[in-house]
Structure 1
Amino acid sequence: MSSFKLTLLILLTSLSSIYAWVHPGILHSAGDLKRMLSYVNAGRAGTPSNQYSDYLLLARDYLSSDTYGMSTPVTILTQRAAFERDGTAAYQNALMWYLTGDKSHANKSIAIMDSWSSTIKSVDPAYRDRQLASSLGPFMMTNAAEIIRYTDAGWTTTGIQNFEFMLTNVFYPRLNDHSGSQYEANVGSGNTKAMMAFGVFTQNQTMYNEAIDYYSNERCSGLPLDISPTGQASESGRDQQHVQLGLGNLAESCQIAAVQGTHDLYGLLSNRLLVGYEYTAKYNLGYTVPYDASFQRCSAHNIGGPFPTISTSGRGRFRPIYELAYAHYVSTKKLSMPYTSQIIQQVVTEVGSGVNSRADNSGWGTLKYRIL
């Protein structure tokens, strides 16, 4: 066993007996929520900021509306789009509840969560995207649940119990399936962040620790297999959309651990995630980067690989993933991310993940993570 794995094992073993959960505590602590609210209140009082501008965009998004028309829940999930939209709507309405104090937003978020958790029984094991269906949308909805549960929004005990049952018995078993080509690259990193979120909400130490181990060591989606020492992603030859999805997933996992105060995943392998962000930011800004064709994701042949050159597909289309990493590495740790900084300056206000991928990453990072 490597010294790193031995150290991690010792840490996880000791953690189980001394750890106290932080709530709210997935992507946002109570302090994070208060910081967002301070930007919103200042904006309402006449002090402009990019954070407040981002809030106004969030407030206008249809998924933030308290009149959002949710999908009809199903007992067996055979496609993921409907749950992802509803999960994102639940999350954005939970944010709006906290930032406005308008109970109608809390009620909308609760209605979505209660409707799904009291109906769904399983994710179709034959569905090709069964793990994405069990990670991306559920991750968003669990962030909603964490905010609603710990902000006196009026969620019933029965509703909370049903939601915990759904996470543990419907979605978690799919995340823990390593058969076939499921636990790979962006799919695997999505599984990891969802498993961490589920662990926090249900206060399941085993589940949470399992996700930490996956982030560090999983053979097809752990950090060393996702990002090379040069910063190249395992899917850099595939397209830039999936690269950025994977980076965002990794950063969101790091953020959960940071909020909980358990592990410095951001700093793992000498800030490897920072190196990955800078490589991808540099390339997507139009610069040349080195590319090693031997560094490929597992089962690359299943998606048209191996890829001999870096992909231009999606190049220059920035996903809403950069504010989170920048806030940690630059604003908090005082490290340098010059290419990520250029993207943030170009984008100005980071919004959601887009019409066709609303649950890929949580978005709205200017409001949520930028520190004055």
Structure 2
Amino acid sequence: MGSVGRRVAAVLVAPLLVGLVASCGMSSQGRTVRARAKDAAFEHPGVLVSKDQLTAVRRHVDAGEQPWLQAFLDMRDSKYGSYKYEAKPYATVECPPGTRAGHGCVEEREDAIAAYTQALLWSITGKQEHADKAVQIMDAWSGKVKRHTEGNAGLQTAWAGSTWARAGEIVRHTGATWPTASVARFQGMLRTAYLPEVSRKVPDYNGNWDLVMTDAAIGIAVFLDDHKAFDDAVERFRQRVPAYFYLAKDGKVPLTPVGSTVDTPQKLTTYWFGQQRYTDGVSQETCRNFKHVGYSLAATAHIAETAWHQGVDLYSGVKDRLKAALDFHSRYQMGETAPAWLCGGRVDRNMGPDLEVALNHLEDRLDVHVPAAHRLAEQTRPAGTDDLFVSWETLTHAGNPAA
């Protein structure tokens, strides 16, 4: 077996070891962790943001505490927070790769963010108008959208689907008025127009695809109370994250995604955008640009956070990778000169608002300090939205470890 092949075997074995450790109620570091019984009822609300976290957000905002108050005001005053926001649903959302124009792609993503924004505003202010607006947006799409087409359908359904699930989860489980028939139609939309696409494995694509699709899949699974879809997303996470963020313990070359045809050193170098020297924290897309690394950092944390609220500790298996990747990219994002061995000495510093969820777990739950990422988060707070699938995470997750 070649070195790349051995990396594949390692990825296959690792999830089994994690599963054995978890079944004993212990993390890989020996700490007791929560265990979720098979087919146990899901905790609601529990897609990215928990009930306790929503309560903490209200408390911070009501007390006028920073950075939460400014984050709330930015959200409230954004176009997504307006009572006058109007949805623009499409029956078929066409999202081609490259520069060719799509149909409904921006509208779908923005409408999902608007629904989530209105849901958060409802939770914080208690104003029924916000809940009504969120329902209006979700009803508009669930009554129309049927399919997603073109080459970026997987990514589009991931971006929108992850946000739809967060919006629906808050509205449905915080006392808002949402007719049963409308809820059922929204469930049907997620199950038929989103879940099949985001459950499709794409091991030879850039890793942000697999991770963002898994983010959507696990959120939809919780909203639908779908145990199989949840378990599939958990397994996909355990396979995929170690193949995206490198650690020296992986060996001389990175792990290969399960099922991938990246099976030679030459293919691996191409897949990693020409990078040939690997150090803790470097990622598969570092030499592409930091924007896509940020997507992957955010998606990884979103998946683990949703699982955490459901009693599954995915963080323990990847916390060292997350810490290394956060530190590595934050240093260069803030201007540290890239050495010649890293991407030929040139990196694209365009990371988005992607740090808060991972930082909250590492620093506020585990007391693991990540200095560079901490400084970067403080410099860029309050984090807003990337207009894709990351929204208002200073508000929801900064200093908010509530279990």
Contact 1:236 1:311 in 2 (8 A): no
Distance 1:129 1:16 in 2: 36
Deviation of residue 101 (structure 1)?
1.2
| Distance in 2 separating the partners of 1:163 and 1:311 | 45
What is the DSSP-based 3-state SS (H/G/I as helix, E as strand, rest coil) of the residue aligned with 2:43? coil
**1:361 has 2:390 as partner:** yes
Rounded Cα–Cα distance in structure 1 between residues aligned with 2:340 and 2:53: 37
Which residue of 218, 221, 225 corresponds with 1:199?
Answer: 221
Deviations 1:230-284 (CA, angstroms, capped at 9, x unpaired): 100110010111111111111111111111121x222214521121111111111
Between the aligned partners of 1:271 and 1:179, the Cα distance in structure 2 is 25
Pair 248,270 (structure 1): closer, same or farther in 2 beyond 3 Å: closer
Q: Does 1:309 align with 2:338?
A: no
Q: Does 1:36 align with 2:54?
A: no
In the TM superposition, what is the alpha-carbon distance from 1:18 to its structure 2 partner? 5.0
Alignment RMSD (CA, Å): 2.2
What residue in structure 1 maps to residue 270 of structure 2?
Answer: none
Aligned to 1:303: none
Contact 2:218/2:229, CA 8 A, preserved across alignment: yes
Aligned-partner SS, 1:32? helix
Q: 2:87 aligns with which of 67, 70, 75?
A: 70
Q: Does 1:267 align with 2:316?
A: yes
Partner of 2:360: 327
Matched, 1:223 2:241: yes
Q: Distance in 1 between matches of 2:138 and 2:43?
A: 22
Question: 1:177: Cα distance to partner?
Answer: 2.5
Cα distance in 1 for residues equivalent to 2:345 and 2:309: 34
In the alignment, structure 1 residue 57 sits paired with structure 2 residue 80 = no
* Larger RCO (CA under 8 A, 6+ residues apart): 2
Please tell me whether the aligned partners of residues 46 and 222 of structure 2 are also in contact (alpha carbons under 8 angstroms): yes
Q: Which of 32, 43, 64 lines up with 1:22 in the alignment? A: 43
TM (norm. structure 2) is 0.78
State the identity %. 25
Aligned residue in 2 for 1:110: 135
Deviations along 1:163-200, one digit per CA (max 9) or x if unpaired, are 11111111111123336955x31111110100000110
Q: Does 1:145 align with 2:168?
A: yes
**Distance in 2, Cα, partners of 1:35 & 1:114:** 29
Give the Cα separation in 2 of the matches to 1:310 and 1:181. 26
Q: What is the TM-score when the length of structure 1 is the normalising length? A: 0.85
Contact 2:53 2:396 in 1 (8 A): yes
Displaced runs of 4+ in structure 1, greater than 6 A? 290-293
Amino acid at match of 1:21: F
Which of 374, 380, 384 aligns to 1:341? It is: 374
Could you list the per-position Cα deviations for residues 134-172 of structure 1 after superposition, in whole angstroms to 9, with x for gaps in the alignment? 111121111000000001111111111111111111111
Distance 2:288 2:145 in 1: 34
- Equivalences for residues 72-151 of structure 1 within 5 A: 73-79=89-95, 80-124=105-149, 127-151=150-174
1:370 and 2:398 are equivalent in the alignment: yes
Q: Distance in 2 between matches of 1:335 and 1:346?
A: 20
Partner Cα distance (2:202, 2:58) in 1? 44
Give the secondary structure class of the aligned counterpart of 1:309: helix
Displacement of 1:70: 1.6
Gaps of 5+ in 2: 1-8, 24-34, 96-104, 248-279
Alignment of 1:233-252 (within 5 A): 233-252=283-302
- Cα displacement string for residues 61-82 of structure 1 (whole angstroms, at most 9, x for unaligned residues): 11111211221x2222113211
User: 3-state SS of the aligned residue for 1:155?
Assistant: coil
**Residue 28 of structure 1: CA displacement?**
0.9
- Return 5+ residue gaps in structure 1 as ranges: 294-307
Distance in 1 (alpha carbons) for counterparts of 2:19 and 2:110: 37
Q: CA deviation at 1:345?
A: 2.3
After superposition, the Cα gap between the structure-2 partners of 1:291 and 1:100, relative to the gap in structure 1 and judged at 3 Å, is farther
